[in-house]
Amino acid sequence: KNALTRQYQHLFDMENVDLVFEDSALRAVAKKALDRNTGARGLRSILENTLLETMYDLPSRTDVGTVVVNEDVINGTAAPLFKPERLPRIEQKDAAKVDLKVINSKSA
């Protein structure tokens, strides 16, 4: 309920955009926090710094339906992938079964 990734997904959803984290991105965020010795408090800072420019640009863009974040985005070597279409909507009863919008790195 209070997961950082869900909070950011909700912020993006307010702009009618889906935010998807590849599992490699989540591992990279955790590794960065461990390397910086910041623990859980550093997670927010890492995500904020990574997504700040994208969140700033989204309101003026109408061509984006989904933003995909992978390990390279977290490490600062690539920009997020912008896709024009949104993800298929999940029925409310099925939504409880889905923990996060995370895709397997190998399938992307």
CATH number of 4-97: 1.10.8.60
Whether pLDDT at 83 is above 80: yes
pLDDT 10s digits, 14-58: 999 999 999 999 999 999 999 999 977 899 999 999 999 999 999
Least confident of 57-66, 82-91, 99-108: 99-108
pLDDT score recorded for residue 40: 79
Q: Where are the domains of the chain?
A: 4-97
Q: Which residues of 75-87 are buried (b: 16+ CB within 10 A; e: fewer)?
A: eeeeebebbeeee
- Residues 99, 6: Cα–Cα separation, whole Å: 9
Model pLDDT, residue 106:
56
Q: Report the pLDDT value the prediction gives residue 99, as an integer from 0 to 100.
A: 54
Q: Enumerate the β-bridge partners of residue 103.
A: 22
Q: Which residue has the higher pLDDT, 74 or 108?
A: 74
- Kindly tell me if the per-residue pLDDT of 96 is higher than 60: no
